[in-house]
Amino acid sequence: RAKEAGRNSYRFFNQAMSEQMKGRMTIENSLHRALERKEFELHYQPRVNLSTLQVAGFEALIRWNHPQLGRIAPLEFIPIAEERGFIAEIGKWVLDEACCQAQRIIDATGKPIRISVNLSARQLAGEQLLDDVRNALDRSGLRADLLELELTETALVNDIDASTRIFQALKGLGVSLAVDDFGTGYSGLAYLGQFPIDVLKLDRSFVNQKNRDKTGNKRVIEAFIEMAHRLGIPVVAEGVETADTLAFLIACRCDEAQGYYFAPPLPAQEVAGFLERFSGDAPAIEPNTCITP
């Protein structure tokens, strides 16, 4: 019997594996046509200023609507796009699309809403990035200071000299630079002083309830925010899902927050409606859930 079960699980394993490989092969084979077939789409997640409770900006997040596989999340295809050398083209499309959409929102609302775009480490290493950013700004008419580029710590410290050079060049264009997923990887605070960083984004695993409950972690988050402020860098918390987390962040003087508590990433056509509905109304926070640090 045991033997039989073993054989079955072996067969099952094989099948699951080949399904997975088929999935990956389909992704690889169709990825290079996805752009021309207009299968990519950007969703926009609002970022809320915690002093004014106004929408401060949106983060553009890519989605791939695959004709057979359905919607594919970025973490499933961005690494493959990087490996296969498609990321530069995709990244260029994201920059163009995000800047145009941001300018449309600004035209419609009359508010200087910021747009954040994620960059992959590969884009930072490539030659094309500066031109792509410049072109996206020109084509959309978006004010450079309203475009923010997000990079992970690992991408930054990968090659500090190269990153410093490209950072300086990007700053020369007038765009803002954010460190994404802060608190997960390296967190070597020393590099913060070396780069002209405009925004620090605390990773969601770092700010969520489970992690905060671990002894000492609350203090670490508080200390991170305090330190960033001493360096003159505002802090954005990602992945805020509950009123508790929000209250904690407000008590820590975190500057901005984004997460399902406010809204998930929204399709472009829902952005205007969201702005209208949100319009600075305070989300329901029970005063007694506020935690004083």
Binding site residues, ligand C2E, CB under 6 A = 45, 61-62, 73-75, 78, 94, 118-120, 150, 180-181, 204, 238-241, 259-260, 265
Q: Residue 71 contacts by C-beta under 8 Å, 6 or more apart in sequence?
A: 63, 64, 65
Picked from Mg ion, ligand C2E, none, the partner binding residue 241 (CB below 5 to 8 A depending on kind) is ligand C2E
Out of 97, 148, 153, 180, name the contact with Mg ion by CB under 5 A.
180
Minimum CB separation of residue 213 from ligand C2E in Å reads 17
Q: Residue 12 contacts by C-beta under 8 Å, 6 or more apart in sequence?
A: none
Minimum CB separation of residue 13 from ligand C2E in Å reads 28
Residue 263 vs residues 59, 97, 109, 197, 258: alpha-carbon distances, Å? 12, 21, 19, 26, 8
Q: What does DSSP say about strands 235-237 and 256-257: parallel, antiparallel, or unpaired?
A: parallel
Minimum CB separation of residue 2 from ligand C2E in Å reads 40
Stretch that binds Mg ion, among 36-44, 124-132, 179-187, 209-217 (CB under 5 A): 179-187
Minimum CB separation of residue 10 from ligand C2E in Å reads 33
Backbone angles phi, psi at 244, to 5 degrees: -60, -50
Q: In DSSP terms, which residues pair with 62 in a beta bridge?
A: 42
Out of 30, 101, 118, 120, name the contact with Mg ion by CB under 5 A.
118
Picked from ligand C2E, Mg ion, none, the partner binding residue 239 (CB below 5 to 8 A depending on kind) is ligand C2E
DSSP 33-58: HHTTTT-EEEEEEEEEETTT--EEEE
Distance CA 119, CA 98 (A): 12
Radius of gyration in angstroms for the set of CA atoms belonging to the chain, rounded to a whole number: 21
Q: Is 150 in the site for Mg ion (CB under 5 A)?
A: yes
DSSP one-letter code for 282: P
Minimum CB separation of residue 7 from ligand C2E in Å reads 38
137 versus 183: smaller Cβ distance to Mg ion: 183
Stretch that binds Mg ion, among 147-155, 185-193, 228-236, 279-287 (CB under 5 A): 147-155
Q: Which spans of this chain sit near Mg ion (rule: CB under 5 A)?
A: 118, 150, 180-181, 238
